[in-house]
Amino acid sequence: MIDAAGIQALFATHFGHAPGMVVRAPGRVNLIGEHTDYNDGFVLPAAIDRATFIAAAPRSDRRVRVFAADLNESDEFAIDHIESSGIRPWSNYIRGMVRALLAAGHVINGADLVVSSSVPRGAGLSSSAALEVATGYVFQLLYGLNILGEELALMAQATENHFVGVNCGIMDQFIVTLGQAHHALLIDCRDLSYQAVSVPENAAIVICDSHIERSLAASAYNQRRAECEHAVEILSASLPGIKALRDVTSQQLQQHSQALPSIVLQRARHVISENERVLSGVAALRAGNVAEFGRLMNASHASMRDDYNVSIPEMDALVASAQRVSGCYGSRLTGAGFGGCTVSLVENGAVEHFRHEVAAAYLAATGRSASIYVTHAADGVGRIRPE
């Protein structure tokens, strides 16, 4: 696995001189609160101890040179003429962040960059947000820019929305920027206020990668978002003043359910109940009731499967195999859906048994192998030095 010393050596080999710094930006996993962020709701993600690293040095000209070590690919562009790359799509996260910095009025020059990551791509662990935030932070340090963490996260989200073309919410970039070790963050996606919530010391966050690419996730994401907006449009006739599903309670939804088409009702029911589960889950963690938090994780998966329809049989099998293991408090699909990863909260002493049982059960049920990562809540983006 790459570390600060390793990427410094890669930089020196590729560019022929030492980098000025190394930046680390973590991946993330969402413990509970799925598809609530773009509905102005609540989420509870944690940064994880898998990360994207960028070794960097400033340039005196207006060019950016990048070497993506994991792909063995290079890219170069002029910062005064930044366009999307069709042949190097990974570069668009870097290009978009540089363009966003310039659009915000920041004064920068070029840079030499080497990028490497231990965050699996396409697994729903926010490898893209890690790359965006790491890029922004590199330029912030290289050129002494005054950028608050919230501002950096919003800049990264804007890059994803307007340059890369993914209409994501704020959660990924926010937790990658502002994560805290040993804590998840309760984020209010409406006003971006946040509170640190301790993750139980006696439990590990275990991520199971199904190795199923989320080929339907992008189109389904946009469809679900439109369905949620349609629900708000209909409900606002009876509930004036609501701006998003976050403003609707389960009781209100039930009272006005006849006004909604059945599929729109399902989507709204998931989002509204999920917001309630997030807040209940935070209360459970603060009370030390890990079993209750696990029960809410299980209920979250059922809601994503039955009401939001973003799970698939293989993911259901992976979740079910985890939920059967003694010592697993709860398990659920995490991320947009249709593949990717599950997240489980597992008692420390049961982790090795969990890994063996889940891998075997998933293989037996689907014929597929899963990669299982044992992780803990980590800090957000920062500068690091080799040991």
Active site residues: 172
* In contact, 189 and 42? CB cutoff 8 Å: yes
Q: Cα–chain-centroid distance for residue 249?
A: 26
Q: SS3 for 86-136, per residue?
A: CCCCCHHHHHHHHHHHHHCCCCCCCEEEEEEECCCCCCCCCHHHHHHHHHH
H or E element in which residue 75 lies: strand 73-78
Q: Which H or E element spans position 187?
A: strand 183-188
111-117/194-198 β-pairing: unpaired
Burial level of 161, CB count in 10 A (0-12/13-18/19+)?
A: middle
Q: Can you tell me the distance from the alpha carbon of 243 to that of 256, in angstroms, rounded to the nearest whole number? A: 16
Would you say 182 and 48 are in contact if contact means Cβ atoms under 8 Å apart? no
Count the Cβ atoms, other than its own, within 10 Å of residue 60.
7
